[in-house]
Structure 1
């Protein structure tokens, strides 16, 4: 079959400051801040996410 699409496993995490989407392999992709819904692209950044916020390193 030539039109078979590869599915990628995603996880959605909710935090007190918003929510974030991460690839199952462990790399964060996007964060969405509450209450504005502002989107942050994390795909090329080294970050740690937790309830206190986003740590950039």
Structure 2
């Protein structure tokens, strides 16, 4: 057998402003903004994400 890769459990949430990816441990990982899918890495930032947008804490 070759290399064993750990698969990390992620959840994807879709909002009117874009999409957000959250690790199942509760920490947000990435945000993708509409319409051009601009990526924001929020893995090292405390954020609150909801339908009206992103709050940087």
TM-score by length of 2: 0.91
Task: Please list, as runs of the form range in 1=range in 2, the aligned pairs for 1:1-57 lying within 5 A after superposition.
Answer: 3-57=3-57
Unmatched 5+ stretches in structure 2: none
Unmatched 5+ stretches in structure 1: none
Q: Deviations over 1:1-45 (max 9, x none)?
A: 773221110000001100011100000000000001100000000
Give the RMSD, CA atoms, in angstroms: 1.3
How many residue pairs get matched?
57
* SS at structure 1 position matched to 2:4: coil
List, as ranges, runs of 4+ consecutive aligned residues in structure 1 with deviation greater than 3 Å. none
